[in-house]
Structure 1
Amino acid sequence: MIGVFLDRDGTIGGDGGGIHPLEFSLYEYSAKAINLLNKKGLKVFLFTNQSWIGMGKFTEQTFLEGCKEIEKELEKNNAYLEGIYYCPHKPEDNCNCRKPLTTLLEKAKIENNLDLNKCYIIGDRLSDMLSAESVGAKKILVKTGRGLKSFKELSNSTSEKLKVNYVADNVFTAVEWILIDLSS
Structure 2
Amino acid sequence: MKTAVFLDRDGVINEVLTERVKFVNKPEQLYFLQGVPEAIKKLNASFDHIFVVTNQGGVGLGFMKESQLQRIHDHMIAVLKKEGATIHEVVYCPHKPKSGCACRKPNSKLIVDLGKKYNVDLSKSYMVGDTDTDIIAGKKAGTKGVFLGKSDPIADAVFPDLISAVEWILQDAKTS
- Structures share a fold, TM > 0.5? yes
- What are the equivalent positions in structure 2 for 1:1-184 lying under 5 Å apart? 1-15=2-16, 18-22=23-27, 23-143=29-149, 148=150, 151=151, 154=152, 162-184=153-175
- The percent identity for this pair of structures is 31
Secondary structure, counterpart of 2:98 in structure 1: helix
Distance in 1, Cα, partners of 2:14 & 2:84: 18
RMSD value, Cα: 1.4
The answer as to whether partners of 2:124 and 2:173 remain within 8 angstroms in 1 is no
Deviation at 1:181, TM superposition (A): 0.9
Aligned equivalent of 1:159: none
Secondary structure, counterpart of 2:102 in structure 1: coil
Q: Deviations over 1:125-152 (max 9, x none)?
A: 0000101111221110012xxxx4xx3x
Distance in 1, Cα, partners of 2:93 & 2:173: 29
The answer as to whether partners of 1:121 and 1:128 remain within 8 angstroms in 2 is yes
Q: List runs of 5+ in structure 2 lacking aligned partners.
A: none
Distance in 1, Cα, partners of 2:122 & 2:103: 16
Deviation at 1:183, TM superposition (A): 2.3
Distance in 2, Cα, partners of 1:5 & 1:21: 23
Amino acid at match of 2:40: I
Distance in 2, Cα, partners of 1:138 & 1:132: 7
Q: Deviations over 1:59-95 (max 9, x none)?
A: 1110010011111111121111111111000022211
**Which of 68-77 and 50-59 deviates more?**
68-77
TM-score for the superposition, normalised by structure 1? 0.87
Q: Deviations over 1:18-76 (max 9, x none)?
A: 33242112113101111011122431000100000001100111001001111111112
**Which of 3-12 and 21-30 deviates more?**
21-30
The answer as to whether partners of 1:21 and 1:67 remain within 8 angstroms in 2 is no
TM-score for the superposition, normalised by structure 2? 0.90
